[in-house]
Structures are given as structure tokens and as C-alpha cells.
Structure 1
Amino acid sequence: MNAPRNPRAAGKQAAKAPAPSPAEQLDLRPGQSLELLKELHILTREGRINQDSRRKLKQVYHLFNFIEPLLAELSTDGHAPSLADHGAGKSYLGFILYDLYFKALGQGHIYGIETRGELVARSRALAGQLGFARMSFLNLSVAESADAAELPAQIDVVTALHACDTATDDAIAFGLQKRARAMVLVPCCQAEMAACLRQGKALQLARTPLAELWRHPLHTRELGSQVTNVLRCLYLEASGYQVTVTELVGWEHSMKNELIIARYTGQKKRSAAERLRAILREMGLEQAMAARFGLQAETAGNASAVV
């Protein structure tokens, strides 16, 4: 018969168990630099993290999980991948991508594009401090960056995390111009579509019962955002991309949670362009919004395809 367990001895054994490391406590990815997270103010100097920073890091890590396989695929045969991050802000995504992937790869380049000059200057200084030589930061809008001399003619991956209003559309236009192999987009607030819906509301209410979907201001805003993202996906499919739409993280972490992943296949879907135009026509938006999604507004007797 086994001797009864000594509670005091068990307590001593438990006391000897090693405490989890800061990386384990914070559920960090292997190889993640704690010093980088401190410089980004995700961690305090003592290695602690608050709930807001934890939420932000969770979003960036989850996005990294989608981007890493794309970069790995593009890096085969010695190719040096390039990535443009639009609306980079403090460049959390860019720095973590570099730290976890580009640094070990030893090649490739990340371009952070941001309109706030002070954030661009801060990111440049931090990249220099960390020795992240293959990172560049441009003080430009998304629209301006398409023709910027500092950027190469072709970019492999385009990202835009919570780019507001039409900035996501500008990022898509950038990706199309730069012949991007993949785009990873998390749209944010969207006002342009809602404004167009409000403008023609009375006429559309008289024309179709579907206009009830945007009769009330709250519905106008929410429907405008939803329809915009649907049209973005159709536009990408019509332009030769395979599109996947999913959640970025749980809704408790972010209300702007839709993740659009587009991979270039070269197979342009004519049906996607036709459905895009049909939705615009049904909602009375063809004249106002056709050009936004690569279409020419139709004139009498003239049906146009994607530009």
C-alpha cells in the first residue's frame, strides 16, 4: 500500500516548478522579439501588457497567420518578396512581419505607407534602431503611392488594415496597378456608398421596395458598408483574383472584423463584372459608383465591361 502523500513535500515540488516565461504568459509567437514589442509600446518596459494592447496584438498575429503562407509561397525559388502596407499607422503589422519572417529570410522588402508625417518619422527611426534595413516608410496617401518613384513597378503583397472609407478602394487600385500576387484587406468605416444611397433615396423608394433596406439612417450606413465590401469582392474577381472572405478575429476584439483575401489567378470572371453592374443598377448607383469599381457608366444602347 502506498504511503500517504506528504502535502508539505508536494508544496515544495510545486514551488520548484519554473515560472512561465513572459513569451509564454503573453502567448507570443516563437522568435518574437520582446524588445520590439516594448518599442512599439505593446509591452511595458517591465514586460506587461494591457487589455487594449493584447487585443491589438491578437489582431496583428491573426493577420500574420494569413499573410505568412502567401509570403512563403512567393519566396520559393529564391524570390525576394515585396509587401506594401497601406495606412500603416505605427507600423505594428510591418514591424512584426519583418521580425517574424523577413528578418530570417534575409531578403525582401516592406514598404509602410502613411499620411501622418510624425508616425512615418518614428517608424523610420525605429527601423534604423533595430537594424531592419529592408523597411521603407513613405509619407503619402494610398492614392498618391501608386505613382511614387520610391516604390517598384511591381509589389507582391498589398495589405490594408482598417483603412478608412475609400482608402481600401485605393489600396485595391494600387494592387491592380502594381500587379499584386495577393491582397489582404480589413476594411474599416465606409461613408461614400452611404452618401450616394442617401442622395437618391426618394427616387429609389418610389422605384423599388428594396430601397426600404436603406430608408433609415442607421440601415443606410450599415448597408452601405456591407454592399461596398460585396462590390469590392466582385471587382477583384472580375480582375482575375480568387477571393476569400472571413473574420479577422472574434467580434469581441474588433467591430470592423471582415477580412478579404485575394490571390491572383489570372482568371477574370465575366459573371462577377455583370453582377457588380447589376447591383449598382438595382440600387440606383451606376452613374455615381461605376468608375469606383472599374466600370464605365452605361449610355443608351452601350453596355460596357470592366475597364
Structure 2
Amino acid sequence: MAAEPLLRALARMRGLMLDDTVLVRAVASGRQRGQETKFKRVELRYVDLKAGRHLQVTAYDDTQAHTSNHAGDAARDAVDDLLDQPFANWHVETTTEQHQIRVTKKLEAMVHTSAREAEVEAERGHDKPKQRLLPEDDPVLVALGISDAQGRIKPTRQAKYRQVEEFLRLLDASITDAVAKGALRKATADEPLRIVDLGCGNAYLTFAAHRYLSHVRGLPVHLTGVDVKQQSATHNSGVAEGLGISDETDFVVGSIAGASLERRPDVVLALHACDTATDEALARALDWEAALVLAAPCCHHDISAQLRRNPTPAPYSMLTRHGILRERFADTLTDALRASILRVLGYKVDVVEFVESQHTPRNTLLRAVRAGGRVKGGSVRKEYDDLTETWGVRPKLADLVGV
């Protein structure tokens, strides 16, 4: 692998990406130090449509994929726009060669080119199925009853499969980003990444997360599921034994607030915990100083009840006059307050769509990455204080963490 000027290396890759006779696939990922890219990952390939051959660009952000097709000048513009983005890695496959480019801190290109053992033919079909993080016949999906014995998703479990896939995309992107920013440590065989799922139930997402991170990404992982029901722990332990991962997972019986763990987790998951159970999960994550927290709240009764008891501040009466609007506003206000408290306590927070709204109305996910210590003043604290004072509410999370 040799270093060369970045612009020269990218210009060479540009020629390959614009050659629809040789390009098999090109992938851009990562970001250069101190830079931001529009998308987390981008894939390029040529497809044959009724209107002729087009360059297909599939760009992935934190939550979903965006696909567009380009021909002629539009294809050149699309490639040039992507080459202008500060991606850290490019992987370009042609019918005869494979090229790897890694951008160094000095903005040079470390280039490795290898010849294929035999020439391959590029797949140009436009109806290529969406890439799945866990294929339908994956053993964990069969063990969980999402797929049948023949490795096909059961018709009644399609929504659950979509939920698993979207969650894994969020988890994958969140871990990658947190590690890149130094917020989350790199896992090793001696110190695996420790993940706890609070209120795991039958642990669909727990097992899926373990399978993807350990078998697809190759990360050493130890995953703990916590649930108040002994039945859940017994069932999940049996599934783990059947999958041969008992040494890498354990299931604890206990409440979210009271469960005892031997080691502090690096990542905390709380997926569809009802009402203030989400607040209890966030409080545990804060107490553990978890590097990464992913919480998908379920119902929101606490703040809604407070809104019913308190007079609505002017000029917002229309937000609470009608029951359905009040409930929806309570959902939004609850999660906004949770995000604000996390920021006060030193986390960088964003709120994203968990799964598409047509699959479930509870589709919000709070993603928090530990960035520093508690904020004692300034705009972050003032934002929270103004919000609670205006609406006359006191979030449960605030009581649990002493904000």
C-alpha cells in the first residue's frame, strides 16, 4: 500500500465509477478527522432501467436509505458531488480489480489495488433486494420464531422483522459513530463491549443485536437482558443455550430500577418500556455513566396527567383543549424534557425515527452519547428550566437524577 496525492487517487477512481462497462460497485464510508459527511455510507452501481443504463446511488443516513438513479451529465454530477464529500474510505470494485483508498490525517491517499483471480460480471438488475443486516434464514431469527424452519419470514412476523432490521441499522451507526468520536471504547476479546437491555421481554432485539454485532461485525460482545418476569429469563436463557451463546449473554430477573449487574455496561438499551419505566432506564444509564444510550419510549402518561391538572399557558390552549392533541403533545413534551435532562447531564442527544410510522405509532428513539460532565448553567440548563416552568410540569426523570 502506497501513499499518493488524494486528488490524483480520487480522479482515478472517478474514471472507474463513470465507466458503466467495468464498475461493479463503489462504496464510500467514514469521515475524515474533524469533518462531517452528508451521509454515513454511500453505495454506487449501474442498473439497467427501461430508460437505459443509470448510475444508482444509495445513500444511508442514521435511519434509512435514500436511492436515486442518474444518467449522462447527472451521473457525472452525482459522482463529483460524492467525491467532494470528506469520506475517509473508498472501496471501488471493477470486473477485474478491487481498489481500497484510505485517507490519512495528512489528507493523502493510502491506495491498495488487487487483481481479481477471474473477471466477474456486474449485476445490473434494478430490482436487487434490499441488503439485510440479518438474512431471513439467520439462525437467531429461526430460534426467535420470526422465520420458519425453511428460513422464510413468517407472514405474521414481517413487522417484527422490519423492526429488528431498522433497530440494527441504528445500533450499528450509533456504535460506529461513538467509537470514531472516542466516546465509546473499542471492544477487545478480554474486554468485550458490554450491553444491557432493560425491560428486554422475550429479547427479540437483544438476541438480534448480539448476533449482528458478534457474527456480522465481528465485535466481542457480552449482552445482558433485564426483565421483571422469571418466565422471560428462563425462556431467554433457553434460547441462548440453543444458539450456543450462553457464555456471551445472561438474563437477570429484576426491575429496571433495582436490577443488579456485576459490571457497568458500555451501552444501555431501553426499547418500548412503558411510561416512567423509560425514565427509570435512563436514570440507570446515567448512574452507570453509559457511553451510549438508545431508548425507544412507549406510552407517556405521567406528563399527560400533569397537563390535565395544570392550566395551559397562553397562547397554547389549542394544544391541550382536545384530548387527542393533548396526548400527542404530551408525548413530544415528555421526550423533549428527557432529551434536555440528558444534555444537562453531559450527553449529546438526538431524536430519530425508530421504525417507519406506518408500522407503529411509537416510533421515536432517543440516542444519547456521553460527551462530558454535568452542565451547571448556561443555555442548556436555561432551556430545560424555561420549558418546565412554562408548562408547570416535573418530569419523573428529573426526580430520579436530581435535576
Aligned length: 264
1:186–1:257 Cα contact (<8 Å) kept:
yes
Secondary structure, aligned partner of 1:138: strand
Alignment-derived partner of residue 191 in structure 1: 301
Match of 1:156, as an amino acid?
D
Alignment-derived partner of residue 392 in structure 2: 284
Higher relative strand content: 2
Alignment-derived partner of residue 60 in structure 1: 164
Alignment-derived partner of residue 253 in structure 1: 359
Aligned match for 1:140, one of 238, 246, 254: 254
Match of 1:61, as an amino acid?
E
Query: What residue ranges of structure 2 are gaps of 5+ in the alignment?
Result: 1-127
d(CA) in 2 for partners of 1:181, 1:273: 21
Quote how far apart the aligned CAs of 1:96 are. 1.2
Cα shift readout 1:250-293 (whole Å, capped 9, x = no counterpart): 211221111211111105453222211211111122xxx15632
d(CA) in 2 for partners of 1:291, 1:40: 34
Cα shift readout 1:200-224 (whole Å, capped 9, x = no counterpart): 2xxx15x633244212222222111
Aligned match for 1:263, one of 362, 365, 369: 369
Match of 2:234, as an amino acid?
A
d(CA) in 2 for partners of 1:168, 1:52: 28
Aligned match for 1:169, one of 279, 285, 293: 279
**More deviation in 161-170 or 64-73?**
64-73
Match of 1:293, as an amino acid?
A
Quote how far apart the aligned CAs of 1:105 are. 4.0
After superposition, the Cα gap between the structure-2 partners of 1:191 and 1:76, relative to the gap in structure 1 and judged at 3 Å, is same
Match of 2:257, as an amino acid?
A
Q: Does 1:231 align with 2:341?
A: no
After superposition, the CA RMSD in angstroms is 2.6
Quote how far apart the aligned CAs of 1:58 are. 1.5
Aligned match for 1:215, one of 321, 329, 336: 321
**More deviation in 237-246 or 207-216?**
207-216
d(CA) in 2 for partners of 1:70, 1:290: 26
d(CA) in 1 for partners of 2:218, 2:131: 23
2:193–2:220 Cα contact (<8 Å) kept:
yes
Cα shift readout 1:159-217 (whole Å, capped 9, x = no counterpart): 111111111111110110011001011111111111111122xxx15x63324421222
Alignment-derived partner of residue 180 in structure 1: 290
Match of 1:161, as an amino acid?
L
1:85–1:111 Cα contact (<8 Å) kept:
yes
Aligned match for 1:87, one of 199, 208, 221: 199
After superposition, the Cα gap between the structure-2 partners of 1:292 and 1:25, relative to the gap in structure 1 and judged at 3 Å, is closer
1:33–1:99 Cα contact (<8 Å) kept:
no
Match of 1:242, as an amino acid?
K
The sequence identity of aligned pairs, in percent, is 27
After superposition, the Cα gap between the structure-2 partners of 1:116 and 1:122, relative to the gap in structure 1 and judged at 3 Å, is same
Q: Does 1:96 align with 2:200?
A: no
Q: TM-score, normalised by structure 2?
A: 0.60
After superposition, the Cα gap between the structure-2 partners of 1:118 and 1:41, relative to the gap in structure 1 and judged at 3 Å, is same
Cα shift readout 1:26-52 (whole Å, capped 9, x = no counterpart): 954267762321110101223332344
Query: What residue ranges of structure 1 are gaps of 5+ in the alignment?
Result: 1-23, 297-305
Secondary structure, aligned partner of 1:242: strand
After superposition, the Cα gap between the structure-2 partners of 1:77 and 1:61, relative to the gap in structure 1 and judged at 3 Å, is closer
Alignment-derived partner of residue 138 in structure 2: 34
Quote how far apart the aligned CAs of 1:59 are. 1.5
1:108–1:134 Cα contact (<8 Å) kept:
yes
Higher relative helix content: 1
After superposition, the Cα gap between the structure-2 partners of 1:190 and 1:102, relative to the gap in structure 1 and judged at 3 Å, is same
1:235–1:294 Cα contact (<8 Å) kept:
no
1:32–1:100 Cα contact (<8 Å) kept:
no
